[in-house]
Every structure is written in C-alpha cells, then in structure tokens.
Amino acid sequence: MRFQNKVALVTGGSSGIGRATAIAFAREGASVVVASRREDEGKLTVQMIRDANGEGTFIQTDVANSAEIQKLIDKTIDIYGRLDCAFNNAGTEGVFAPMTELTEEVWDQTIAVNLKAVWLCMKYEIEALLKQGTGGAIVNTSSWLAVGGLAGSTIYSASKAGIDGLIRPAVLEFAQHGIRINNINPGIIDTPMLRRFGDDEALLKPFIAHTPMQRLGTPEEVAETVLWLCSDAASFVTGQTILVDGGWTIPGLRN
C-alpha cells in the first residue's frame, strides 16, 4: 500500500476524476478528505471508500470562497493530524462560446474556480506542509486545453494555462522543503463534465476519431497518474505538466 499512514486531500472529489482519485488513494491506504459543494455526491464518494474498507471524510467546500479553502485545510489537519498529498482538481467548464458572446461575469466565475482557487489551495497547503516540516506532494488538474484549443474555450483555456504557469515558480520557492508540485493535463476523459457538452455518441465521435488511441480516457486512468506523481516512485519529479490524453495533443496525421 503506497499511501499507508498518509493523508490525501482531493478537491472536486464528488465526481469524475476527483472521485476516482479519492477512491484510488484510499485503496492504497491513505485517509482521504473529499471536498466539494454537493454534500450528497461528496458523501457518496466517502461511502464508496468505506465500502472498500478505506478511510475518508467529506468536508463541504466551495473553492470559489477563500475562507472555505482555508477552513478545509485547517479541518483536514484537525481531523487527521497531518497532510501529505493534495489533489487540487475542482474545476468548472464555465461557458464555451465565442469570445464576443462571453461576459466578464463568466470570466470572473471561471477564473475564480479554475485558477484563483488552485493558487489559494496551494498557498494554504504549502503553509501547512511547511509547518509540518515533512515535505509533501501537490498535483493540480490542468487540461489539454492549456496547450490546445477548442472554438469557444478562451476563458477555460486561459484558466488552465494559468495553472501550468503558477507551478514552476512555486517549485523554485519550495523544492528545498521537500514539496513536489506537478500538474496533470487530461485529454478527453469520460466524466459528467464531458457529458454536459452532449451525451450524444455522435457528438463524441470526432473526439474519439482524433485521439490516436481511438477512445475516451477514463477517470481511473487519470487517477493512476496522480497517485504515481504523489508516490515515492516520483520522488525526483517536480514542476511538470503531464498530459494524460491517449496522444490527443500530438500534432500530425494518424495512420
């Protein structure tokens, strides 16, 4: 068990990639804090963890609210006494539309959840890790859209590219304290977020056709990469953005 006696925090743990990662951490022995706004879905993740004999707690959190983020980190330490791994994964697709149709309000809401909240989570997590003096591992969820684009994705792409930008200086600031910080950049992953763009198989067909591996990714495949990045197996890996995308972002033509 790679995470025995460790404590892992997962934001956006009520669904999709976050839920799969929370369950995977618990299966590997970690005590897991699941954070999200929806109580029923967050508690369901914890129930799934407990059904598999794991340990988990739900802490209701809106990451758009900085006081709630601070409270989340404090409560995690209160409940489990420490923090070892943090997966800052909560995110919103916001609104996909041409720039000319998007509003400042959508910009503010999307950036608040996808970028400002990740900065705040990192800030308070790093403060806790420094106080603890043990080092730790942080992984944030960026996106292939940080390095690519879809018509309509200007705000979402900017929010995710921002996450890619903020980890490198943070590594320079805290690597000497044993804190590793990496991003995962998922490709097209079959989650409720993807399905909100359209549940229609015809709509997903071009995405599948463009992916060299000819299928959607699963939340569990992303979770495995997060666990590896948080594990001792990745002890010399920091400041990286790792695409988990079945080859989606490779420019070129497939056979």
Shortest CA distance to 87 belongs to which of 170, 11, 33? 11
- Check 14, 36, 142, 143 and give the catalytic one: 142
Q: Does residue number 143 form part of the binding site for ligand NAP (CB under 6 A)?
A: yes
One of 9, 18, 182, 240 touching ligand NAP (CB under 6 A): 18
Tell me whether residue 59 or residue 133 sits nearer to ligand NAP (CB atom).
59
Stretch of 48-56, 74-82, 86-94, 168-176 contacting ligand NAP, by CB under 6 A = 86-94
113-132 positions binding ligand NAP, by CB under 6 A = 113
Q: Does residue number 56 form part of the binding site for ligand NAP (CB under 6 A)?
A: no
- Check 143, 157, 159, 160 and give the catalytic one: 160
Site string for ligand NAP, 182-221 (x = CB under 6 A): ----x-xx-xxxx---------------------------
Residue type, 140: N
- Report the alpha-carbon distance of residue 154 to residue 77 in Å, rounded: 37
- Report the alpha-carbon distance of residue 128 to residue 133 in Å, rounded: 9
One of 9, 21, 28, 36 touching ligand NAP (CB under 6 A): 36
Q: Does residue number 76 form part of the binding site for ligand NAP (CB under 6 A)?
A: no
Other CB atoms within 10 A of residue 156 CB: 24
Instruction: Provide DSSP, 142-197.
Output: --GGGTS--TT-HHHHHHHHHHHHHHHHHHHHHGGGTEEEEEEEE-SB-SHHHHHT
Q: How far is CA 161 from the centre of its chain?
A: 14
Q: Does residue number 63 form part of the binding site for ligand NAP (CB under 6 A)?
A: yes
Q: Does residue number 110 form part of the binding site for ligand NAP (CB under 6 A)?
A: no
Half-sphere exposure of 241 (CA within 13 A, CB side): 19
Buried b (16+ CB within 10 A) or exposed e, 72-99: bbebbeeebeebbbbbbbbbbbbbbeee
Binding residues (CB under 6 A) for ligand NAP: these are: 11-12, 14-18, 36-38, 41, 61-64, 89-92, 113, 141, 143, 186, 188-189, 191-194
Give catalytic residues, as residue numbers. 142, 156, 160
